[in-house]
Structure 1
Amino acid sequence: MTTRLSARAALAALADPGSFTELTVPVREYAPDGPLGWAGYDDSRERAAARTGESESVVVGTARVGGRDAVLVSFEFGFLGGSLGERTGDRLEAAYAHARDRRLPLVSLIATGGSRMQEGMLALTQLQRVARQSALTRAAGLPQVAVLRDPTTGGGWATLGAGADVVLALPGAQVGFAGSRVRPADADPAAYTAEAQYAAGFVDAVVPPEDLPAVLGTWLRLLTSPHPGPAEPPAALGGVPPGGPARTGWDAVQQARNPARPRAAAYLDAYFELRLPVHGDRAGGTDPGMLCGFGLRAGRTVAYAAQCGTATRPAGYRTAARLIRLADRLGVPVLTLVDTPGAANDAEAEHAGAGAAIADAFAAVASATVPVTTLVIGEGGSGGALALAAPGRTWVTPDSYFSVIAPELAAAILKRPTSEAPTTADQLRLRPEDLVTLGIARGVVPPPGTPA
């Protein structure tokens, strides 16, 4: 279990010194013992106020984090377990409205056990208020970042937490919809942790407390500094292959399959000054063969989704689609790097919804209003590669190919022997130069320092 900071201590640990200004929110008037007349509720509130120095379970205001202005929401777990009641909802609604009025990102520092029992269904409906405010803020094109403290459970996790654009968590924090008192008796406690939620693709990063101010400040910079116009394609790190440009289609295939060829991570490191990943598909899956996130290029932000040379799994496509849609809402251009022999086609991939996931990636690229730029850096295998390719803004490297399907599989479909795969590769016209001639690619990108 992590150390539980008070709401104001959590704010002080993140905000630039002296920058926090609390919002003034009108206080809702209640009859004695609250809206339900719950005997002893007033006494419980008074004890909580005396213990914490707060009049409600959340503190809201504006501050700078890493020099970036933001609206901050910080939960006070010591006040009735950080639970949400009507007055909590008033403060949260005010914070969201202020973020929209001032065009500021909203950061939630969550530590809550869920809805407040003493206010019954009126407390539970605060989740609808939060969801509505989050949707309005999302529609306004403003980023929302959640920091999961200990504990983050119930409706706080299911709205402010899991509904954020970027989700960070403190190590060891209890995170899950079911709080410790309502889980099955035989439930594994390890399943309800920040680390477990990260492994399942619901958390973007688990960040040690001492690193959180810098990481959060960088995220705010990335999410609020979009690059103007389309991203330019990266230079070809592999350069022209030692034997020169591919003379045949089969040569192009072999060059793209060279294990020494530069992969996505090398391209991203060369292209960006710094970058931070988004992790997971928010549906219980991750794919290490798909790198997604935001990076700084010449001081401005570009989003990226990059295949790593493996067969892309459904979770990879869903993560890429999530990244592209988030970038689109924030006005951030997107760079995609294509490098896959094709989509994963094993039984597990089919059970995980391979077709639907690929369709989602196609739809995300097709519907993006920000420019999407694509560079094929290796294998471009069938629809599994095309799903990330931008129509009209795709480039290729000299050591790549793009094909309707791998030559070996094309030969099999055409009922040809395996020995005819090289001939089939030539007929498919999959070389970089062929792709330019066919109008599939806009050009072959040169190595660094080579005139275009």
Structure 2
Amino acid sequence: MTTRLSARAAIASVTDPGSFTELPAPQRDSPPDGPLAWSGYDDSRARAARRTGEEESVVTGTARIGGAEATLISFEFGFLGGSLGERTGDRLEAAYTHARTHRLPLVSLIATGGSRMQEGMLALTQLQRVARQCVLTRAAGVPQIAVLRDPTTGGGWATLGTGADVILALPGAQVGFAGSRVRPADADPAAYSAEGQYAAGHVDAVVPPVDLAGTVADWLRLLTPPSPAQPAPPPAALGDVQDVQEAQDGDDPIPPTGWDAVQQARHPDRPHAQAYLDAYFTLRLPLSGDRAGGTDPGMLCGFGLREGRPVAYAAQCGTATRPAGYRTAARVIRLADRLGIPVLTLVDTPGAANDTAAEHAGAGAAIADTFTAVAAASVPVTTLVIGEGGSGGALALAAPGNTWVTPDSYFSVIAPELAAAILKRPPEDAPATADQLRIRPQDLVALGVARGVVGPKPPGASA
């Protein structure tokens, strides 16, 4: 069981000391015992106010987090279970509006049991108000970060929580649409936990309380849109761009044949995405999951700092990419596009996963979603092929006109072995077929598929 902090204690746990300034609360006249004349409702509110020192279930304001100014929403669970009513909706809408007006990132510290029964359907419709504010804030390019405290259930999870760009959760927090008193008797409690939601791809990270302030501060650094006066440059290639002859004469020789290219790309000691990302970024935080019930450990996604500027990344790790991986990549690319942050993609996959589970999970639609996200991006997208480029499963992440290749990579319409099989050739003809496919790095440059060959390899990589 996690410790349930008050709204103001939760604010103090993540903000710079003394920096919080409360926003004025919108005023609303209500009839006795609320809009439904629910007997005893006014008394319940008065008791909650005496117990918590708050007038409503949320506290809103502005504060600095790691030196960055942000708008804060913090739920007071002790006030009628952190439930949402009309006055709660007024405060939430005012906070969202303040964030957009002043272009301040919005950080929500959520602890709620859902909508307030004593206000009936009028309380439930506050979720529509919150959803509208979330959409407007997203469209304005203002980042939203949610921190899921204990508990985060009902409409608070389904609006402020899942509607955020980055979702962090405290260990052991109860997280789910259904609260503990309305679940099926045989429900698995683990599915309604922060850890369970993370495993299912609905939460980006489970963060210990001691690390929460620093993590939120880092995310504010990574998601802050560049100043219009100083637009962000596109991500530079991970090494120096070389022409083909220079690469041939250097430490990373261009493969002489197509089959050599395949063998180099499949070599177990060549550097993979983790090595490139570690070498490229000074700070890097992951985003996990497709928000649709899936994760793919073979697709690394998130944001990082390069020379003090934020860059989003989506990187394949050499495995067959699953539908959840494509959806996660598309999600990150769209978020970066909204925030005006350039994108780096690393291509390295033998192809898209093609097993029964992948088909049931919508492999084709997920790949199409990634193609669409890349095609629609208005920010610069830069691609580096660092290993295998297997068919459309790899091409989905490749930036048209801005793709580069390493000496130990190849890109092919289909794997040479499969091409030989389709052409009814014996397996031993795969090397010759690889040459016919023209899949070497220098071939890709000559064909106009790639802009150039990039080196050297990341520090510490095997020769």
Fold match by TM threshold 0.5: yes
> Counterpart of 1:146 in 2: which secondary structure?
strand
1:235 has 2:244 as partner? no
Q: Distance in 2 between matches of 1:63 and 1:152?
A: 23
| 1:350 aligned partner | 359
| 1:295 aligned partner | 304
Q: Distance in 1 between matches of 2:407 and 2:155?
A: 51
> Counterpart of 2:429 in 1: which secondary structure?
helix
Q: Distance in 2 between matches of 1:183 and 1:28?
A: 34
Q: Distance in 1 between matches of 2:337 and 2:252?
A: 41
Q: Distance in 2 between matches of 1:92 and 1:15?
A: 19
- Identity, % of aligned pairs? 80
Q: Distance in 2 between matches of 1:439 and 1:367?
A: 21
Cα pair 2:225 2:339 within 8 Å, conserved: no
Alignment CA distance shift 1:243-1:19 (3 Å): closer
Per-residue deviation at 1:431?
A: 0.3
**CA distances 1:26-61 after superposition (whole Å, capped 9, x unpaired):** 221111100110000000000000000000000000
> Counterpart of 1:64 in 2: which secondary structure?
strand
Query: Bigger CA drift: 181-190 or 389-398?
Result: 181-190
1:446 has 2:444 as partner? no
Cα pair 1:377 1:396 within 8 Å, conserved: yes
Per-residue deviation at 1:244?
A: 2.8
Q: Distance in 2 between matches of 1:207 and 1:390?
A: 33
Per-residue deviation at 1:142?
A: 0.5
| 1:29 aligned partner | 29
Question: Which one-letter code corresponds to 1:110 in the other structure?
Answer: I
Q: 2:344 aligns with which of 315, 335, 338?
A: 335
1:84-163 map, 5 Å: 84-163=84-163
**CA distances 1:195-223 after superposition (whole Å, capped 9, x unpaired):** 00000000000000010000000000100
Cα pair 2:26 2:94 within 8 Å, conserved: no
Cα pair 1:240 1:399 within 8 Å, conserved: no
Per-residue deviation at 1:188?
A: 1.3
Per-residue deviation at 1:236?
A: 7.8
Alignment CA distance shift 1:333-1:243 (3 Å): closer
Alignment CA distance shift 1:407-1:449 (3 Å): closer
Question: Which one-letter code corresponds to 1:343 in the other structure?
Answer: A
| 1:258 aligned partner | 267
1:2-401 map, 5 Å: 2-226=2-226, 228-235=232-239, 244-401=253-410
Q: Distance in 2 between matches of 1:347 and 1:85?
A: 46
Per-residue deviation at 1:162?
A: 0.8
TM-score normalized with structure 2 length: 0.95
Q: How many residues align?
A: 450
Question: 5+ unaligned residues in a row in structure 2: which ranges?
Answer: 242-246
Cα pair 2:20 2:64 within 8 Å, conserved: yes
Question: 5+ unaligned residues in a row in structure 1: which ranges?
Answer: none
1:412-423 map, 5 Å: 412-423=421-432
Q: Distance in 1 between matches of 2:344 and 2:121?
A: 46
> Counterpart of 2:454 in 1: which secondary structure?
coil
CA RMSD of aligned residues (A): 1.7
Question: Which one-letter code corresponds to 1:234 in the other structure?
Answer: L
Per-residue deviation at 1:446?
A: 2.2
Per-residue deviation at 1:189?
A: 1.1
> Counterpart of 2:332 in 1: which secondary structure?
helix
TM-score normalized with structure 1 length: 0.97
| 2:244 aligned partner | none
Cα pair 2:225 2:340 within 8 Å, conserved: no
> Counterpart of 1:445 in 2: which secondary structure?
strand
1:408 has 2:412 as partner? no
Alignment CA distance shift 1:352-1:239 (3 Å): farther
Per-residue deviation at 1:240?
A: 8.3
Per-residue deviation at 1:233?
A: 1.3
Q: Distance in 2 between matches of 1:90 and 1:175?
A: 24
Q: Distance in 2 between matches of 1:349 and 1:284?
A: 13
Q: Distance in 2 between matches of 1:185 and 1:448?
A: 55
Cα pair 1:93 1:133 within 8 Å, conserved: yes
Alignment CA distance shift 1:45-1:300 (3 Å): same
Question: Which one-letter code corresponds to 2:45 in the other structure?
Answer: R
Cα pair 2:279 2:458 within 8 Å, conserved: no
Cα pair 2:401 2:450 within 8 Å, conserved: yes
Q: Distance in 2 between matches of 1:168 and 1:56?
A: 24
Per-residue deviation at 1:229?
A: 2.1
Question: Which one-letter code corresponds to 1:43 in the other structure?
Answer: D
Cα pair 2:271 2:457 within 8 Å, conserved: no
Query: Bigger CA drift: 177-186 or 220-229?
Result: 220-229
Q: Distance in 2 between matches of 1:239 and 1:41?
A: 79
Per-residue deviation at 1:21?
A: 0.4
**CA distances 1:274-309 after superposition (whole Å, capped 9, x unpaired):** 100000000000000000000000011000000000
Cα pair 1:365 1:372 within 8 Å, conserved: yes
